[in-house]
């Protein structure tokens, strides 16, 4: 029996999660990639090397994030977030976001870490998703 989760339950799952599947529209079609993220209650923060995903979100900032917790086939929860991509370009906001991400993902490689500021590496894109709507369903 699949039931709808309340917005509060959906947001709690989003806050507990670390891995989302990010959906965006690239070259006019859907594009889905796994991303690590942090949700601070208002925004979902993430970062990326430059590439197709970032190009897509800059061109078309409507995005979707799907996060789930799967215990087994009969017991799972899944939430979907609809929101808008916002690139962080100011030094202070980039550092705050990267600090949040580094605190949860200490394994970020130097090339991914703005704080490491390797002059030869491409600068990572730091972004947030402004969360506009969260829905969730569960079974079990």
Residues that bind a copy of itself (CB under 8 A): 19, 21-25, 28-34, 62-66, 68, 70, 73-74, 78, 80, 82, 105, 107
Residue 105 CB coordination number (10 Å): 15
Query: What minimum distance in Å lies between the beta carbon of 122 and a copy of itself?
Result: 14
Pick the closer one to a copy of itself by CB: 74 or 119: 74
Give CA angle at 15 (102, 105), nearest 5°.
15
- The answer to whether the Cα torsion of 67, 95, 130, 87 is positive or negative is negative
Q: Rounded to an integer, what distance in angstroms lies between the CA atom of residue 97 and that of residue 27?
A: 28
Pick the closer one to a copy of itself by CB: 21 or 58: 21
Pick the closer one to a copy of itself by CB: 66 or 89: 66
Query: What minimum distance in Å lies between the beta carbon of 129 and a copy of itself?
Result: 11
Query: What minimum distance in Å lies between the beta carbon of 60 and a copy of itself?
Result: 8
- CB 136 within 8 Å of CB 16: no
């Amino acid at each position: 029996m699949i039931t709808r989760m309340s917005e509060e339950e959906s947001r709690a799952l989003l806050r507990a999660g670390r891995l989302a599947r990010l959906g965006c529209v690239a070259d006019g079609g859907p594009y889905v990639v796994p991303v690590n993220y942090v949700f601070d209650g208002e925004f979902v923060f993430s970062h990326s090397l430059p590439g197709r995903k970032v190009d897509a979100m800059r061109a078309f900032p409507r995005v979707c994030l799907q996060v789930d917790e799967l215990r087994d086939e009969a017991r799972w929860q899944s939430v979907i977030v609809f929101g808008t991509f916002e690139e962080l370009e100011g030094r202070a906001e980039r550092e705050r976001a990267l600090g949040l991400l580094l605190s949860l993902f200490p394994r970020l490689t130097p090339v991914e870490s703005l704080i490491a500021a390797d002059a030869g590496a491409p600068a990572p894109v730091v972004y947030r998703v402004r969360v506009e709507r969260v829905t969730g369903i569960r079974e079990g």
